[in-house]
Chains A and B, each alone.
Chain A
Amino acid sequence: MNPPDSSAELRELCDRLLDGDFTTADRARLEALVLSDAALRRLYVEIMHEHAALRQSSSRLGELPLSEILSTLPDGGIVGQPLRLPGPAERPPHSDSLKHNVIRGSFGRNWLRLAAAIAVGFAVWWFAPSPQPQPLATLVETNGARWENSALPTAPGSPLRAGRLRLAEGVARLTFQSGAEVSLEGPAELELTGPNACFLHTGALTAHVPDRAKGFVVGTTHARLIDHGTDFGISTDPAGRSQVQVLQGEVELQHDRSGEKLRLLTKESAAITPERFKPSDKGEAEPDRYAFARTAAAQRPPTLTLTTAGGTGEAAYVVSPNSPIHYSDTLLLVKNAPTKNFLRRAYLRFDLGPLRDRRVADATLTLNFEATGFGYASLTGEHTFAIYALTDDTQDAWSAENLTWESAPAFAPDAGAVDPTRAVKLGTFTTPRGVVSGAYSISGEALADFLNRDANRQATLIVVRETLEAKNTGAVHGFAGNRHPTLAPPTLRLTLADR
């Protein structure tokens, strides 16, 4: 007999194996327990078997157990057509090898057809009494709506399941299962989390909550709003700060960090900061969703905008040898592929002269991407780009005319990297699947520090695509250089520190 606590220990090891960080020490211990004791051996097999059984109830087609398919056939409950395995009539009479092929072919077809027919009904029988996950809300109508990459349908009338809506502009109205009505104002990102609940990542919404939907919850980064039957508005800025205004009725706010609770009645409003609530004394004032931004703007220290087109700035890209086609005069091309040719990376130089002796408190680099027409965007997945800063100042004096793949500063043979002794990584950004245009930025201390430290006041940045494409058919990415007719060149927006 094993002591009772070794079965508890075995359970913990199994938990780590299935959901957590299973280490080599855990593996050794698990093996020792299982090998040493028959009861523990039995327990391990039971636990793993239960895990596997739960998993196999999932809806993936390849895992559909045939038993489930066949067991429904005799009374024809779910599948409309009877199982057609090859009968004697379908067999060619005298050829064994041919017969073999025919049987296998039919077997495959039948199996797939049956599996497909039953997949929907079978998918959830373990966990939910209903055969389909219920939609949480319906998209009722949209006005001037432009959507960004969204996993949810964006056509009016569509049922919406759990997931995120990304509204770039315009207004979208949705009705939750509970009856709560929400108007979302772009730009906004709303996550549907339940039949009477959502999470506002950014943007603004107004809600009308009828009595039957009391208890409607809107989560935000720092607090939850629980409705008690109202009309209210709520907005969240990208920094997670929110404003709430009750137009009619009552809501309750619960702060995540402080645990503070606040009730707001008709015409009352409050701000949610990362630390606490700030009830507003403005009473019936107009809702001011941009109050934070405006306050911040009023106190904002001076800023400076630099581009690669200014002063001794420069922007160029290099191509690996033996890549005879696909150039651009207006775009800087970037690509990473498993081949040796057709690799590209971009070089940017900013003239920091205009900064004079001012220190940079915060900096953002923005690149404006545009489709290059080279490669297929539809074959292009998510791509991550990295920005490196050239720390070796002796290499800053490159020119667009003379730059070549191997002579370029901080050269490394891998197109997704640079020579780590001459450059440091400042940050990365990721473009969504199939997207090859739009503005992408990095910002942060690393960039500001680099600009403050750069001794010769010439800052070279290198843009590489870290994501390696599997084949050579995906898109070549490109962003505007200094000679693009409409898009802004690579731009540094600097917030200057106080003198």
Chain B
Amino acid sequence: MNPPDRAEEFVFLLARHERLLGAYVMTMVPHPQDADDILQEAKVVMWRSFAKFETGTNFGAWARKVAFHQVLAYRKRKHRDRLDFSEDFLRTVADEAEQSADHLEQRERLLHDCVAKLPDDHRDALQLRYQEGLSLEDMASRLGRTVGALYRLLSRVRHVLHECVSKNLNRPENEPA
């Protein structure tokens, strides 16, 4: 293989890690718009400072470090919201996510199958909530159900998915080869 071009290498590495990186940011900043902004900023910073990244070292860990700094910077820049998590919490969660990075990646692969196994109405609810990005109120008027019922439904679906992933994770065929 030829020595890879720097941009090609960046695209390739980002490709492998971007999804997990987005989730990493969301564990600390659940507000979707803020999380998106932070992720975008982090990607720009990563590309700008990519010269400092040593090929062959752990890109995921490097990217998470950049993203974590962007979370802190964003938080400092923005008006402090009383619902924002404390810095103590952010550091703890970031450490946990760092340690579980491989584990989370594995869970995400299994999540796909678990979504496919959901009953239709559960999958429809996920589709409206996540793909179309509807609020619970809009979902309620679209589906002719109450906000409370949908809240409980989404809560149950999340629980079912989490259990499904955990169960499959422990099945022998999912052991790392």
Contacts and interface: CB of A to CB of B under 8 A. Distances in A.
Q: Do A and B come from one complex?
A: yes
Interface of A: 11-12, 14-15, 17-20, 22, 24, 27, 31, 34-35, 41-42, 44-59, 62-63, 65-67, 69-71, 85-87, 103-104, 106-107, 111, 123-124, 126-128, 162, 193, 199, 219
Interface in B3-26: 5-8, 10-12, 14-16, 18-19, 22-26
B23 A56 contact: yes
Given A34-B92, A55-B32, A27 B85 contact: yes
Interface in B74-120: 82-83, 85-86, 88-89, 92-93, 96-97, 100, 104, 107-108, 111-112, 115
Given A67-B18, A124-B131, A50 B111 contact: yes
Contacts of A51: 26, 30, 158
B32 A15 contact: no
B144 A31 contact: no
B44 to A, nearest CB: 11
Interface of B: 5-8, 10-12, 14-16, 18-19, 22-27, 30, 32, 35-36, 40, 47, 82-83, 85-86, 88-89, 92-93, 96-97, 100, 104, 107-108, 111-112, 115, 123-124, 126-127, 129-131, 133, 136, 142-144, 151, 154-155, 158-159, 161-162, 165
A427 B82 CA distance: 33
A17 B159 contact: no
Nearest to A12: B155
Contacts of B93: 34, 41, 44-45
B43 to A, nearest CB: 10
Nearest to B156: A15
12 contacts: A15-B151, A17-B30, A19-B129, A19-B154, A44-B96, A46-B162, A48-B27, A67-B15, A103-B6, A104-B7, A126-B112, A126-B126
Contacts of A22: 83
A69 B15 contact: yes
Given A15-B158, A49-B104, A53-B19, A127 B14 contact: no
Max chain B Cβ within 10 angstroms of own Cβ: one of A24, A27, A45, A54? A45
Given A34-B92, A48-B23, 5 more contacts: A15-B151, A50-B165, A54-B115, A58-B130, A123-B131
Nearest to A71: B15
B15 A11 contact: no
Contacts of B86: 31
A46 B83 contact: no
Contacts of B136: 19
A126 B27 contact: no
A103 B23 contact: no
Contact of B30 (A18, A63, A67): A18
A24 B162 contact: no
Nearest to B19: A65
A92 to B, nearest CB: 14
A35 B88 CA distance: 8
Ranked 8 nearest A-B pairs via Cβ: A52-B23, A66-B15, A52-B26, A127-B127, A67-B15, A48-B27, A15-B155, A49-B23
A49 B10 CA distance: 24
A15 B147 CA distance: 13
A112 to B, nearest CB: 13
Given A66-B18, A70-B12, A107-B11, A199 B23 contact: no
B156 to A, nearest CB: 10
Given A24-B83, A31-B85, A127-B123, A46 B7 contact: no
Contacts of B16: 67
A126 B115 contact: yes
B27 A49 contact: yes
B60 to A, nearest CB: 12
A210 to B, nearest CB: 24
A18 B161 CA distance: 16
Contacts of B115: 54, 126-127
Given A19-B136, A107-B11, A162-B142, A42 B100 contact: yes
Given A15-B155, A51-B26, A127-B127, A67 B19 contact: yes
A55 B25 CA distance: 13
A35 B127 contact: no
Contacts of B111: 50, 53-54
Nearest to B12: A70
A451 B57 CA distance: 77
Contacts of A128: 123, 127
A20 B83 CA distance: 13
Contacts of A54: 111, 115, 126, 130
Contact of B36 (A31, A46, A62, A124): A62
Nearest to B144: A219
B118 to A, nearest CB: 9
Given A34-B92, A52-B22, A67-B16, A46 B104 contact: yes
Contacts of B8: 85
A137 to B, nearest CB: 16
Given A103-B5, A162-B142, A111 B11 contact: yes
Nearest to B83: A27
Nearest to A17: B30
A54 B115 CA distance: 9
A27 B40 CA distance: 26
B7 A103 contact: yes
Contacts of B97: 45, 49
A49 B107 contact: yes
B89 A35 contact: yes
A20 B108 CA distance: 24
A199 B140 CA distance: 14
Contacts of A123: 131
Nearest to B16: A67
A268 to B, nearest CB: 26
Contacts of B11: 66, 70, 85, 107, 111
Contacts of B158: 11, 14-15, 47, 50-51
Given A45-B100, A67-B18, A53 B23 contact: yes
A47 B111 CA distance: 11
